């Protein structure tokens, strides 16, 4: 399966467990009872109902919408999502732990296989300037999960949180906002590079938001660096922030090549659930509010992309390509496109040579006729080269370069020999 994710992706995540139990139900330091588990699951069902309302009502395209939840409280939701054909993500990490480990230990694979999710997700807390031993252990476990996903046909998503250390906060006067804008971007680039160096290869990065497009661009550039990573994507997470802050992050990220959507959870569902728990609204009203919130952020993202001329709103599953071209899958597909277009140009030159006496005039017509066909693979090949995908770039650029060399040979023969009469 090719690495990366090329469709828009708007995730409604509700895989929260420890924090959800503690803050919503006051359950801390112990496992929930069977009755409490059932209650928590019913709240997650409300979130899922809000998601379905937004999708089935035509607001968010089904092929672009997705949910993220957990096995403990979301079993019924996961099974229904699979049956209904939704894109759905399954959380694998042990909840409430500062260090990434599998929720079900060495049995993680069997727990994934019982649901066959579209995307497998892992949350990590990783500061490249802190706790190198823990970081190394996390990379090793993530490599195992990465290999499993790619070998088993699942897309792999990593949600890397980069918590500030005391030293890093001191450098910005203990200002979290300054840390997010001045220090965290470089740390995230370094973190991604370290994971890549240890062969951790996510298809999607679920990243904390930024207020400047340039920060997103640097993250995507690192995520796509190296051979085969040209289609790796990123989504912006909400981090439980208020509406205004999340909107700022989305506006900055929308339109950046490689940012294909968002993963916003608590900002969408938390207040409706609190109001429902306090009997201020009904279950139906809570579902409607969750649906409306999800739709509002989706509409904002789409609007920002449209304004920046990076998205086709009529067909939202083709996001923001700088070069608008058919998107074949794999190297074989790219080779086919390149050969298909350059073939017509390559046969024109011998045809022109077969009629002596026409000289430069014929060559000029041949070159002009072939130019539109060689530009397509050249432009696409340059794009892949800039993304670091040298193999695909070579496959795309080789045929048109051969054609251009033939033109130069023919020009030499016209000017310095009598072959063309």
Question: How far is Cα 389 from Cα 226, in angstroms, rounded to an integer?
Answer: 6
End of a domain among 292, 307, 322? 307
Count other Cβ atoms within 10 Å, centred on residue 264: 29
Q: What is the pLDDT of residues 266-304, one digit of tens each?
A: 999 999 999 999 999 999 999 999 999 999 999 999 999
Q: What is the pLDDT of residues 132-157, one digit of tens each?
A: 999 999 999 999 999 999 999 999 99
Q: Kindly tell me if the per-residue pLDDT of 408 is higher than 80.
A: no
More confidently predicted of 386 and 85: 85
Name the residue range of residue 28's domain.
9-307
Within a domain: residue 2? no
In this structure, are 62 and 190 located in the same domain? Answer: yes
In this structure, are 231 and 94 located in the same domain? Answer: yes
What pLDDT score was predicted for residue 415? 59
The DSSP-derived string for 234-261 is EEEE-TT--HHHHHHHHHHHTTSTTEEE
Within a domain: residue 81? yes
End of a domain among 307, 341, 376? 307
End of a domain among 307, 341, 361? 307
Within a domain: residue 324? no
Within a domain: residue 408? yes
Question: How far is Cα 266 from Cα 263, in angstroms, rounded to an integer?
Answer: 10
- Written as six digits, the tokens of 230 are 């040209």
Please report which helix (H) or strand (E) contains residue 159, including its range: strand 155-161
In this structure, are 282 and 409 located in the same domain? Answer: no
Q: How confident is the model over 327-349, as a mean pLDDT?
A: 50
- Written as six digits, the tokens of 21 are 């139990």
- Written as six digits, the tokens of 204 are 């999607």
- Provide the 8-state DSSP code for 163: P
Domain count, the chain: 2
Beta strands in 20-117 (DSSP E): 65-69, 87-91
Q: Which of 203, 175, 173 is closest to 89 using CA atoms?
A: 203
Beta bridge partners of 158: 122, 205
**Helix 390-416 and helix 330-353, axial crossing angle in degrees, nearest 10:** 10
In this structure, are 291 and 334 located in the same domain? Answer: no
Percent of the chain with pLDDT over 70: 79
Within a domain: residue 91? yes
Q: What is the pLDDT of residues 81-128, one digit of tens each?
A: 999 999 999 999 999 899 999 999 999 999 999 999 999 999 999 999
Is 129 exposed, middle or buried (CB count within 10 Å of its CB: 0-12, 13-18, 19+)?
Answer: middle
Q: What is the CATH number of the domain that holds 156?
A: 3.20.20.70
Q: What is the pLDDT of residues 22-62, one digit of tens each?
A: 999 999 999 999 999 999 999 999 999 999 999 999 899 99
In this structure, are 22 and 141 located in the same domain? Answer: yes
Question: How far is Cα 105 from Cα 339, in angstroms, rounded to an integer?
Answer: 48
pTM of the predicted model, to two decimals? 0.73
Question: How far is Cα 66 from Cα 158, in angstroms, rounded to an integer?
Answer: 15
In this structure, are 42 and 134 located in the same domain? Answer: yes
């Amino acid at each position: 399966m090719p690495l990366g994710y090329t469709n828009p992706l708007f995730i409604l995540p509700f895989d929260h467990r420890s924090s959800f139990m503690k803050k919503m139900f006051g359950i801390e330091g112990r496992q929930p009872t069977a009755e409490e588990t059932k209650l928590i699951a019913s709240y997650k069902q409300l979130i899922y109902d809000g998601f379905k309302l937004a999708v089935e009502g035509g607001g968010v395209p089904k092929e672009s919408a997705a949910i993220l939840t957990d096995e403990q409280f979301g079993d019924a939701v996961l099974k229904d999502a699979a049956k209904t054909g939704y894109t759905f993500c399954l959380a694998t990490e042990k909840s409430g732990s500062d260090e990434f480990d599998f929720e079900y230990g060495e049995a993680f694979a069997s727990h994934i296989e019982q649901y066959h999710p579209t995307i497998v997700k892992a949350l990590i807390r990783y500061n490249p300037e802190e706790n190198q031993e823990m970081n190394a252990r996390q990379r090793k476990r993530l490599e195992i999960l990465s290999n499993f996903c790619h070998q088993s046909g699942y897309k792999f998503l990593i949600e890397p949180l980069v918590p500030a250390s005391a030293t890093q906060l001191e450098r910005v006067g203990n200002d979290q906002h300054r840390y997010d804008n001045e220090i965290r971007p470089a740390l995230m680039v370094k973190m991604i590079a370290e994971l890549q160096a240890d062969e951790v290869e996510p298809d999607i990065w679920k990243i904390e938001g930024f207020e400047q497009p340039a920060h997103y661009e640097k993250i995507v550039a690192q995520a796509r660096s190296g051979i085969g990573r040209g289609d790796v994507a990123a989504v912006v997470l909400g981090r439980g922030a208020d509406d205004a802050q999340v909107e700022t992050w989305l506006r900055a990220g929308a339109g950046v090549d490689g940012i294909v959507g968002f993963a916003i959870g608590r900002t969408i569902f938390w207040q409706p659930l609190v109001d429902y728990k306090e009997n201020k609204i009904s279950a139906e009203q809570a579902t409607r509010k969750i649906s409306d919130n999800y739709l509002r952020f989706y509409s904002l993202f789409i609007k920002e992309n449209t304004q920046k001329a990076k998205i086709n709103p009529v067909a939202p599953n083709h996001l923001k390509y700088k070069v608008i071209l058919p998107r074949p899958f794999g190297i074989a597909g790219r080779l086919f496109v390149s050969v298909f277009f350059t073939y017509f140009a390559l046969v024109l030159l011998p045809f022109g040579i077969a009629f002596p006496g026409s000289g430069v005039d014929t060559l000029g017509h041949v070159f002009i006729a072939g130019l539109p066909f060689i530009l397509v693979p050249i432009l696409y090949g340059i794009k892949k080269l800039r993304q670091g995908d040298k193999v695909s770039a070579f496959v795309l650029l080789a045929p048109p370069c051969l054609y251009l060399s033939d033109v130069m040979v023919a020009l030499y023969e016209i000017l310095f020999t009598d072959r063309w009469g």
